[in-house]
Amino acid sequence: MERKIDHLEDKITISECLREWEPHQKKGFDPNETRMLDIFECWTGEKGPGIGLVGIPFDSAVLGRKGAKGGPKKIRDSIRYFKAYDWSKDFWFGDEKVIDFGDIILEADSVVEAHDLISEVINKIASRGFKTIILGGDHSISYPIIKGLKEANNPKKIGLINIDAHLDVREVIKGRITSGTPFRRILDNSLVSGENFVEIGIRNFTNARTYRRYVEDKNGLIFTIEDIREKGLASVIEKTIQRITKGTDLTYISVDMDSLDQIYAPGVSAPTPDGLTPNQIMKIIQSIAEKTNLIGMDIVELNPLYDTADTTAINAANFLVQFISSTFWKEKNQK
Ligand SMILES: [Mn+2]
C-alpha cells in the first residue's frame, strides 16, 4: 500500500508504514503487556498534535561505508523488543498513539533535489502539529530536516544538539554535499544560531582543527567525550539546556549512531572507538524532552550491513522509545 502527502504526489511516495510490513501484526499473546508496536498507527490523514514517525532511507551523501539507507527498516524491526511502559517513572503509555508516516521513497536526481523534497515533507508533517522522529539515512538529512522545521515554525527559533563523534561542519567543496556538512549548512544559513548549537560526544583524532575553530567562531558549544568524563554528564546536560533554550522557542536533537562507543555500535557508516554509552544518550534525550520544548529528533548513520546481532539497530530503537516515553510523560505532567 502506498500513501501520499498533499500535492507532493508526483515526487514522493510514502510507504513502509510500520504496521503494514510488521510480520506480527496481531496483538501479542499476553494481554497484561502493551508492546511499543501496538501504539503505532499508519497515518491516514490525521492532524496533530501528536508524535509522528517517518523514515528517510537515503544514503547518497554518505562519506563512510554505504548502507545507511537500510536504517529505517532495521530500527522499525527492532521496536518489537520494547514495551510501552517506563519502569523508571512507573509510567504506562499504552493508550497513546504514535502516527507512522512511513518511509519517504525519494525519486531525485541529485542530493540537492532529494534534500528539497525532505524539507517539504518535514515541513508538512510539522505544520500538521506533529513532533517528529526521523529515521535515517545518512547525516546529510539533518540540514533539510531543520530547514523544513524552521519553515513550518517560522519565526520561532530552534536550539539544536548534535550527539556525534564528529562535528559534521565540513565545507561544501566543489559543490559536494555530504554526511559531513549538515551543521555548517544549518549555521551558515542561519537556521540555528551558533549560540544555540551544542555538539556532544566529539572524539579525539577524528576531527580537523579548522572545523573546531569554525564551531568556536560561531559560538557553538562542544563537549568532547573527555569533557563528559571530567565534568560529569549532569553538568554537561545542564549547560546544554542553558544554551539551546537561550532566546529560543523550540529544541531538536540529532543522534548520530557513531556517537556511541564502537562496542555498542558496530553498524555505522564511520565506526569510532572511545565513545558514549547507550545510557548516557538515553539520559540526554530524557532530560531534553522533559525540560525543553523538544519538537523532533533524528537517528542517523545506522548501517545494518555492518551491524552485529542488530546491536546498533536495537540501541537506535531504544533511543526512539525514550523520546516517545519522555514526550508523553511531559505532556501528562507539565500541567
Ligand atoms: Mn555525523
Contact between 119 and 131 under an 8 Å Cβ cutoff? The reply is no
Residue 180 alpha carbon to ligand 1 centre in Å: 6
Output the CA 90–ligand 1 centroid distance in Å. Answer: 34
What is the rounded distance in angstroms from the CA atom of residue 125 to the CA atom of residue 132? 8
* Burial class of 81 by CB neighbour count within 10 A (0 to 12, 13 to 18, 19+): middle
Query: What is the structure's pLDDT at 19?
Result: 61
| Sequence spans of domains, the chain | 6-153+253-333
What was the pLDDT predicted at 20? 60
Distance (angstroms) between ligand 1 centre and the Cα of 107 equals: 24
Distance from the alpha carbon of residue 327 to the mean position of ligand 1, in angstroms: 24
Q: How far is the CA of 256 from the centre of ligand 1 (A)?
A: 5
Strands 50-56 and 197-202: what pairing? Answer: unpaired
Report how far ligand 1's centroid is from the alpha carbon of 1 (Å).
33
Q: 52 alpha carbon to ligand 1 midpoint, in Å? A: 23
Bridge partner residues of 206 (DSSP): none
Give how far Cα 118 sits from Cα of 52, 101, 272, Å: 15, 13, 28
Confidence at residue 8, expressed as pLDDT on a 0 to 100 scale: 46
Query: Residues 67, 269: contact at Cβ < 8 Å?
Result: yes
Residue from 205, 203, 178 nearest 63 by CA = 178
Q: Is the peptide bond before 155 cis (omega within 30 degrees of 0)?
A: yes
Expressed in angstroms and rounded, the spacing between residue 181 Cα and the centre of ligand 1 is 9
Q: With contact defined as beta carbons under 8 Å apart, do 220 and 197 qualify? A: yes
CA 140 to centroid of ligand 1, rounded, Å: 8
Provide the pLDDT for residue 41: 87
pLDDT of residue 46: 83
Of the candidates 149, 120, 171, 87, the one whose C-alpha atom is nearest the C-alpha of residue 14 is 120
Q: Measured in angstroms, how far is the CA atom of residue 257 from the centroid of ligand 1?
A: 8
Which cell numbers hold the place of 187?
549555521
Q: Is the Cβ–Cβ distance between 264 and 315 less than 8 Å?
A: yes
- Calpha distance 301→68 (Å, rounded): 5
Report cis status (omega within 30 of 0) of the bond before 49: yes
In this structure, what is the dihedral angle of CA atoms 123, 14, 293, 90, given to the nearest 10 degrees? 170
Q: Which own/partner pairs from 241-246 qualify as long-range (CB within 8 Å, at least 24 positions apart)?
A: 241/287, 241/288, 241/291, 241/292, 243/159, 243/195, 243/196, 243/197, 243/198, 244/159, 244/160, 244/161, 244/196, 244/197, 244/198, 244/288, 244/292, 245/159, 245/292, 246/159, 246/195, 246/196
Amino acid occupying residue 58: F
**pTM for this entry:** 0.94
Q: How far is the CA of 48 from the centre of ligand 1 (A)?
A: 30
**Ligand 1 centre distance from Cα of residue 10 (Å):** 31
Determine the topology of domain 6-153+253-333 in CATH. Answer: Arginase; Chain A (3.40.800)
Tell me the CA–centroid distance for residue 251 and ligand 1, in Å: 18
Mean pLDDT by 10 residues, the chain (335 residues): 45 58 63 90 87 94 92 93 96 95 84 93 94 97 98 97 98 94 98 98 97 98 98 98 98 98 96 97 98 98 97 98 98 85
Output helix, strand, coil percentages for the chain, rounded to the nearest 5: 40, 20, 35
Cα 178 to ligand 1 centroid, rounded to whole Å: 10
Cell reading at 47: 492532524
**Rg of the chain on CA atoms, in Å:** 18
Ligand 1 centre and the CA of 324: distance in Å?
22
